[in-house]
Chains A and B, each alone.
Chain A
Amino acid sequence: MKGFRIRRILIERGAESDSLTKRVLDELPNAPREHVEPYELAPCENIEEMDKESLRIIHFKGEFLKPCPGTKRYICCGYKILNVGSNCPLDCSYCYLQSYVNQPSLRIFSNLQENLDVIGDIIDSSPDRIFRIGTGEFTDSLSLDFLTGWTDFLLPFFSRRKNCVLELKTKTSSIKSLIASRYRKAIVVAWSLNTPRIIANEEHKTATLKRRILAAQECQKAGFFLGFHFDPLLYYPGWEAGYEQTVQLLERYIAPESVIWISLGSFRYMPSLKRAIKRRFPGTNIFDGEFVAGLDGKFRYFKPIRVEMYGKLSERLDKWHHDLGLYLCMESDDVWRQSLGWSPENSENLCSYLDSRVRKLMGD
């Protein structure tokens, strides 16, 4: 990862003796350490700058497995979030975590491993359900893996279960530990993709498009299933050619048959996020498009613009391969129909559709 450095470790009271804490401290023997109280900001933590150089180790008391925060007004995929921590060393201008003003620093939960049994019980108690679980909602799934060793214990834990899949979503090319692992079953490695221009201008410190796709190719060759997320789609003059470049790279390096799903989601934001982004990235162009208030209070591109983007990109992806498990993230029934030509109509049906992808590709 480009230019990433941890300058201090903040250990919250209660986290000292957890296994993950020990591992992180072993990995970073020279980083200065401070002991802090839970919920208390350390003087060094710069809220406005997200303080991506401090690592706060937290003994988490909340729920580790949570439903993805969808809304009734749009069709949601029924994903479950495995809450491993929040914030990440990458620095995407559009990152929605920037509006969580009271949560600076890279935050990792030290007692995750100790709590996996609870998650296992939840999964095992509903054997007829498929649990699609991801760690990439509040952080990048792999950017801190070299420190936390998440994959070392998450892969074996999820691989031995029949009715779940763990998706590791990333913008890095940090796949060393994945490749070294002997577990593949029920694991999806997924990349967020964008155009080379958006990656260069807005996704700071992330891997280039080519590196991401080459990493995906390596994972695919090593036997992992792949997912891709075109999210957030951004509209700018030349967007079509930009996304075309991205799809061409996919075509060139990735075998589509083991792609479990590809999601498309347009850029959306709450007003508080816009303020935070404008402060941290005053030169960004991501707000240039025509945004209108959505039914959930978030701003989205005016509907015909979203339909055009989804329609064209899905058509193009369809040309690559007809069975990629394409779906839209947080969109309405009418937008689905106009862009993809079909709609799951509601969240339950979208869940069933994605579950069927899991069954089809990974077997019962």
Chain B
Amino acid sequence: MSFSFDLEPLKASIDRFGVLNPPYLLRNSDSHFTVVVGYRRLLAVRELGWSDTVCQILPDDFPPFEALLLNLQDNLVHRRLNSVEKGMVLKRLTRFLEKEEVLANFVPILGIPSNRQTLEQFLGLEELEEAIRISVAMERLSPRVAALMGSLGRDDRLRMNDLFTSLKWSFNQQWEAAQWIVEIASREGRSAKDVIDEGEIVGVLDNERVNNPQKVKSIVKILRARRFPSLVEAEKLFKKGLSGLSLPSGVNIIPAPSFEGIDYKLEIVFTKGGELKEKVAELSHLSGLEKVTEFWKGTEHR
């Protein structure tokens, strides 16, 4: 149950101290062996050029489910599984148990939130391309985003993986952007790859004068404007209206989120009572203030 790991520390340890815990094997019907426990140890031994090492052979009638549990137990004791490996464990468990049982008894042991949706996300990881699995295993791609990619075509998935691993995205940013890309693609009848490869985003990616966090911010902004054209237009109109008002410095007017509520907030920054009084007086004479709730309206939505 190993994927995308660094073998060097283990090799160094085995080279110095030997194999302290012998691997466990099961004999197959063709007289070959299946490694139940100690796959990475055996790999290290081979890479060190050793010709033999001591292994334990499990009885022929050792139940496969017990073998799986033994493997899980060994892994949990010795190391931290990455997300892809956790997905591999869960997938194998579902061959023997109902998902409800896996959810109740094994998902919490692996440190995964115990809900059906998350379980499904982990179960799908093994099906994805190696490049994507590596991104997930190295914690450069959110497992949730990887699961979403599972519903896309191969080219779309790989392009998205490139986008999210080439810059420094937070998992939340990845999730938001991935959903928008998929939804823009669905609405416009295009592929996710085409949405990413569209001029504006490529322009940001190719711009050498901006750093990675700025690039992420710009791409999020571009995607949001495409996903919510009317809302973004309304926000622009509102901002433009406010800037035309000549509000006193330190004064701001904040609409309800997405203009859904009808209440607006007035924010006044001041250090002295006299300053507050002045700003309030200035506001009371400001022409156009009475129209502030209309600024964003009349949005032509697309």
Contact = CB atoms under 8 A, between A and B. Distances in A.
A334 interface: yes
A275 B299 CA distance: 30
A300 B260 CA distance: 9
A279 B119 CA distance: 13
Given A290-B229, A293-B257, A302-B301, A332 B262 contact: yes
A200 interface: no
Given A285-B186, A285-B187, A292 B260 contact: yes
A294 B116 contact: no
A303 B259 contact: yes
A282 B151 contact: yes
B234 interface: yes
Contacts of A295: 260-261
B187 to A, nearest CB: 4
A304 B299 contact: yes
B183 A302 contact: no
A282 B124 CA distance: 15
A278 B150 CA distance: 12
B228 interface: yes
A36 interface: no
Contacts of B117: 275
Contact of B227 (A279, A290, A305): A290
Contacts, number: 52
A308 B297 CA distance: 12
A293 B299 CA distance: 19
Given A285-B187, A305-B301, A308-B301, A290 B230 contact: yes
Interface in B192-214: none
A292 B301 contact: no
Contacts of B102: none
Contact of B230 (A278, A287, A304): A304
Given A290-B301, A308-B301, A302 B231 contact: yes
A244 B259 CA distance: 29
A101 interface: yes
Contacts of A128: none
Contact of A293 (B120, B186, B234, B258): B258
Nearest to A73: B261
B261 A290 contact: no
Contacts of B297: 304
Contacts of A334: 262
B261 to A, nearest CB: 6
A63 interface: no
A40 interface: no
Interface of A: 48, 101, 275, 278-279, 282, 285, 287-288, 290, 292-295, 300, 302-305, 308, 332-334
Interface of B: 116-117, 120, 151, 183, 186-187, 227-231, 234, 257-262, 297, 299, 301
5 tightest Cβ-Cβ pairs between the two chains A and B = A292-B258, A288-B187, A290-B228, A302-B231, A304-B299
